[in-house]
Amino acid sequence: MTDDEIFDKWHEECGVFGIFGHPNAAQLTYYALVALQHRGQESAGIATVDGLKLYHQKGMGLVAEAIPNEAMPRLSKGHASVGHVRYSTTGVSQLLNAQPLVFNFQRGNMALAHNGNLVNAHQLHSFLERRGAIFQSTSDTEVVAHLIARAGNPDMADNIREALSIVKGAYAFCILTDDKLYAMRDANGLRPMVLGKIGDAYCVSSESCAFDTIGAEIIRDIEPGEMLIISKDGIESTRFASASKRALCTFEYIYFARPDSDIDGFNVHAVRKDFGKLLYREHPVEADVVIGVPDSSISSAIGYAEESGIPYEIGLIKNRYIGRTFIQPSQELRARGVKLKLNAVRRIVEGKRVVMIDDSIVRGTTSGRIVDMLREAGAVEVHVRIASPPVTHSCFYGIDTSARDELIASKKSVEQIREYIGADTLAYLSEGTMMQAFGIMDGKDHGHCNACFNGKYPTEVYEDLSKSIMDR
């Protein structure tokens, strides 16, 4: 059971990192992956090249488990590297699906690392299999590898362009060959990706927090539809697609990204804090104390407290020492799992009217348990405020959401959800108000994907394939 399962949250798919032209490429990639660990804990991997050979190491578990010390001397021969962390799941938790995926084909070596989801991977997988392709994994990343290998152009960049012109969906891609690092962000910019520099070496990452960790400076976000080609000759920016309607995933700000990351010009902590301030303006309440559900709701709770003048307190404590192998399958023990992972601070909430800020509600089960926990600890009123709109639709872009009918807001009204979780009051930040945190005041064309709140998907989707054979 993972943190996300205990807390009834969605799962981020993956984090990617790449660097070219640094003598410590493997070591820096290792540190960067540790910084991106929140984006995936199922498996991790690093591939490096020295111009002639490709070295790689992948394993299950956290970065420190997946890439043992003994692997580092071999990986450290490379001057360029890509790394990947993959999210926790069940059933398909296989080393075969760990990335980077490594291939040796007629034009040399290739290592691919991918964050996101291709909405037409299932169709492309079938198409390629009918033409004799043999797949090693169930990952849709391999579909792209096959498409690249089949493209017959002399130039690798053209092969990547040709492959990406066929795939649809959300992605941040890093591809390492013997002499170049390619970095691509999907045409809608659904998944984040940022460019940085350390010394003379360029690096790319799913999130900028990895740059802070390795001492790199942020240069800029990679544009939707942009392909960066990094080699010994420097960096070249080209396009593989014209930018479609910009649609960065708002959930990166709400929940997935680290608060110290900047995405498309906005700091995640600052945005969450603004969500909290806006939430108070939209849904004020008289109370004695504001608390946040750790960790992703803390910034919004601070914002709500600042705006309202109600003191902010740490009212819930998270146990950070429960490992990945913590398994509690039964419903009864699942409730115990929440208690093991989270506890109320009695001295803070006893006899108080508590405002509990959470970033989102998925199925509602955990919210109800936390409300119960606060009442057991003596809270006289529990007012739940959610720093995002009700989640009514599934995601098809690399976020492992529940099926739509498991999303509590897809079938219950706010009042019914309030009753279900046992709160005194419940209110959500509206979509229009949420977008004010990005300076958007008209609620119109805002350059973000909010499809899980409003069902307006920025690309074609293939609903029947939401749980496709690609296991993504």
Annotated binding site for [4Fe-4S] cluster: 249, 395, 449, 452
Q: Which is nearer to ligand SF4, 249 or 407 (CB)?
A: 249
101 closest CA partner among 49, 169, 46, 20: 46
Which secondary structure element, helix H or strand E, spans residue 127, and what is its range?
helix 121-130
Residue 461: CB minimum distance to ligand SF4, A: 9
Note the residues at the interface with ligand SF4 (CB under 6 A): 190, 249-251, 395, 397, 399, 449-452
Taking the least distance from each CB to ligand SF4, the nearer of 254 and 371 is 254
Q: What are the start-end ranges of the H helices in 297-435?
A: 298-308, 331-341, 346-349, 365-376, 414-421, 431-435
Report yes or no: 85 and 59 within 8 Å, Cβ to Cβ.
no
- Cβ contact 408:249 at 8 Å: no
Nearer to ligand SF4, 81 or 250 (CB): 250
d(CA 189, CA 195): 14
Using the minimum distance from each CB to ligand SF4, give the nearer residue, 143 or 449. Answer: 449
| CA dist., res. 248 & res. 443, Å (int) | 15
Strands 201-205 and 14-20: antiparallel
Least distance from C-beta 404 to ligand SF4, angstroms?
11
How many other CB atoms are found less than 10 A from the CB of residue 376? 12
Q: How far is residue 172's CA from residue 193's CA, in Å, rounded to a whole number?
A: 6
- Feature table: binding site for Mg(2+): 296, 358-359
Alpha-carbon distances of 230 from 51, 165, 205, 409, rounded to whole Å: 14, 21, 14, 45
Q: Cβ of residue 191: shortest distance to ligand SF4, in angstroms?
A: 8
| CB of residue 457 to ligand SF4, shortest distance in Å | 7
14 is catalytic: yes
Element (H, E) at 121: helix 121-130
Nearer residue to ligand SF4 within complex by CB, 66 or 248? 248
Minimum Å gap between C-beta 394 and ligand SF4 is 8
Contacts with 330 (C-beta within 8 Å, 6 or more apart), sequence order? none
CB atoms inside a 10 Å sphere around CB 104:
9
Contact between 426 and 386 under an 8 Å Cβ cutoff? The reply is yes
Among positive and negative, which fits the CA dihedral 53, 101, 59, 182? Answer: positive
Helix, strand, coil content of the chain in percent (nearest 5): 35, 25, 40
Shortest distance (Å) from residue 336 CB to ligand SF4: 29
The answer, yes or no, to whether the previous bond of 100 is cis (omega within 30 of 0) is yes
Catalytic residue among 14, 174, 203, 209: 14
In whole angstroms, what is the distance from residue 98 CA to residue 43 CA?
6
Nearest approach in angstroms of CB 333 to ligand SF4 is 29
Which lies closer to ligand SF4 via its Cβ, residue 10 or residue 211?
10
Please say whether the dihedral angle defined by the alpha carbons of residues 88, 11, 4 and 71, taken in this order, is positive or negative. positive
Give whichever of 194 and 407 is closer to ligand SF4, judged by the CB atom. Answer: 407
Q: Could you give the residue numbers annotated as active site?
A: 14
